[in-house]
Chains A and B, each alone.
Chain A
Amino acid sequence: MSYEVYTCTLESQKEIAPNIVEAWVVNAELAAKAKPGQFLHIQCGDATSMPLRRPISICDVQGDRVCFIYEVKGRGTKSLQQQYGELDILGPVGNGFTVDNGKYKCPAVIGGGIGVYPMLFLTKQLKGAVAYIGFRNKDLVTLEDEFNKAADSVTLTTDDGSYGVAGFALEELKKDCETKQFDIIYACGPKGMLRAVKAFAEGAGIPCQLSLEERMGCGIGACLTCSCETTHEGTDKYKRVCRNGPVFWSEEVVL
């Protein structure tokens, strides 16, 4: 069995950018099982007022410690920021990225906004990754050093040009395609970005994996609330982001 409910020691929580919190939890089993692209389904506070867990991607694993980074948005993440002591985590859940050691010689990794965080764990497990990470502005830039260590090369962009290259990360990836022969593209980010990555990768004939987001209930595949549209017909038209995903091959999904 892959996932389990773990009571994890919440080692630290730190605001690393405005409204962006980096959290580390300690649990040896969870850390041992975690794979890039998988997520944690976290109880963020009082369960009677918040019956749903919140899905947050695994950002990094070091020994028996697991890191996740989240944006403080609504009730759940606001409450999560106030937690200390222990955290109730269901995980690791989901179907992560296909790493296939050695199969891909020249992988491109692209993350946008909160979609940057899960890409660090992936990048660390790839050989020769070329990373593109995009943020809205300078204040929101995080994990720059970590990516520099993990990837062969890193291109950092900001939408407003306040840091790094001005513009979207995908544009930089596209430019590099003239000189580099990417054999896979891994992506996570806002829907608009994923749509553009999908269109580009399919046009260029590069295999591409996308990590999707959807609102979730159970987190393990039982309730069918987290559906995303696929290119399949009939009852396979909608697949479960929590179990069949969150990572899908681009051709399989309709965005």
Chain B
Amino acid sequence: MNMKVKIAGVELNNPIIAASGTFGFGHEYGELYDLNEVGAISVKGLTKAPRAGNPPPRITETPGGVLNSVGLQNPGVDAFIEKEIPFLRQYSCKIIANMAGSTFEDYCEMAEKLSAVDVDMLEMNISCPNVKAGGAAFGTNPDTVFEITKTVRKYAKLPLIVKLSPNVSDITETAKAAEAGGADALSLINTLTGMAIDIKTKRPILANVIGGLSGPCVKPVALRMVHQVYNSVNLPIIGMGGISNGTDAVEFFLAGSAAVQVGTANFTDPYACVRIRDELKEYMKAENIANVSDLTGQLIVD
């Protein structure tokens, strides 16, 4: 069985990618299993300068889902380059540097820096709901998505993945804009904006009031968006949103994903990435599928 996939020229040992923000820089899950087992790690969203993040509480559970408002706490791109790349490079999994900025210049500067170091792909997060400046504001307007992709493209010497926001009325418009701007791949979805209220205190549960929803409850939305985007662009798609088992992963492949990311499921089951890969293999065995890439877009709509 061939689990290898190629995304924008980069070959992954298998199509399971740990989703940004749920896996840190790999240290903690690396204490539980060999990181060679995952295809790639999309690291915690990096910003130009270090960021302390939002005040707590930053997370709560809602039926079938998780709301978070971490607010991009990270050590900054320079510390990532110096301290984290050498650690991750001990493993065969690919490194996806996830970038978040407040201005076009932030993204350009990070893309330039990261293109000069030993990472494999860049993932431009223009859809983070948890920061005030930039973030989601860039990801919801197709014209801005086109402009920012085109601008950052010039500085990115590595394959550039644009991570799309689900908080839009028509995701195919932002997807097409990213394609026209020169993206090499698309990843979707980021979290859906949401909130939770404590009726006893009459206050929002998250200190940031609003957070990003992920987990099993967003899966139907994510799947629909992957399906629509697959039918409207010619770029490889990295699908995500609520994937927690092999069946979920297969659904995302059928809808058009070339690889998938696993986020919230890591919290439920720290071994989720490995388990989902194995369950995907079982499906392939049962269905006599030799290459996992043969599954991409095999949805039958009568």
A interface with B by C-beta (< 8 Å): 1-5, 43, 47-53, 75-76, 90, 214-229, 234-235, 237-238, 243
Interface residue SS majority, chain A: loop
- The answer, yes or no, to whether B271 is at the interface (CB within 8 Å) is yes
Size of the chain B interface, CB-CB below 8 angstroms: 42
Nearest 7 Cβ contacts at the A-B interface: A225-B59, A222-B24, A237-B52, A222-B28, A235-B50, A52-B61, A220-B28
Question: Do A52 and B73 form a contact, CB below 8 Å, given A4-B32, A215-B57?
Answer: no
CA distance A50 to B264 in the complex (A): 11
Measured between beta carbons, the chain B residues less than 8 angstroms from A221 are 24, 27-28
User: Can you report 18 A-B residue pairs in the complex whose CB atoms are below 8 A from each other?
Assistant: A1-B32, A2-B31, A3-B31, A48-B216, A48-B244, A53-B267, A90-B270, A217-B267, A218-B28, A219-B267, A220-B28, A223-B21, A223-B59, A223-B68, A227-B56, A237-B52, A238-B73, A243-B28
The residue that B59 contacts in the complex, of A90, A217, A222, with Cβ under 8 A, is A217
Measured between beta carbons, the chain B residues less than 8 angstroms from A2 are 31
The residue that B56 contacts in the complex, of A51, A52, A228, with Cβ under 8 A, is A228
Q: How far is the CB of B166 from chain A (nearest CB, A)?
A: 18
Residues B57 and A214 in contact, CB atoms below 8 Å apart:
yes
Q: How far is the CB of A63 from chain B (nearest CB, A)?
A: 26
Select from chain A the residue with minimum beta-carbon distance to B29. Answer: A222
Residues B74 and A235 in contact, CB atoms below 8 Å apart:
yes
The residue that A226 contacts in the complex, of B50, B59, B64, with Cβ under 8 A, is B59
Q: How far is the CB of A33 from chain B (nearest CB, A)?
A: 13
Measured between beta carbons, the chain B residues less than 8 angstroms from A217 are 22, 59, 66, 68, 267
Question: Do A51 and B271 form a contact, CB below 8 Å, given A222-B23, A238-B53?
Answer: no
Question: Do A49 and B64 form a contact, CB below 8 Å, given A4-B32, A5-B270, A218-B22?
Answer: yes
Question: Do A235 and B51 form a contact, CB below 8 Å, given A48-B216, A217-B59, A222-B266?
Answer: yes
Residues B270 and A218 in contact, CB atoms below 8 Å apart:
yes
CA distance A212 to B31 in the complex (A): 24
Residues B61 and A76 in contact, CB atoms below 8 Å apart:
yes
Measured between beta carbons, the chain B residues less than 8 angstroms from A243 are 28
Given contacts A1-B32, A51-B265, 5 further A-B contacts (CB under 8 A): A5-B32, A76-B61, A221-B24, A225-B59, A227-B53
Measured between beta carbons, the chain A residues less than 8 angstroms from B265 are 51
The A-contacting residues of B in range 18-69, CB under 8 angstroms, are 21-24, 27-29, 31-32, 44, 50-53, 55-61, 63-66, 68
- The answer, yes or no, to whether B70 is at the interface (CB within 8 Å) is yes
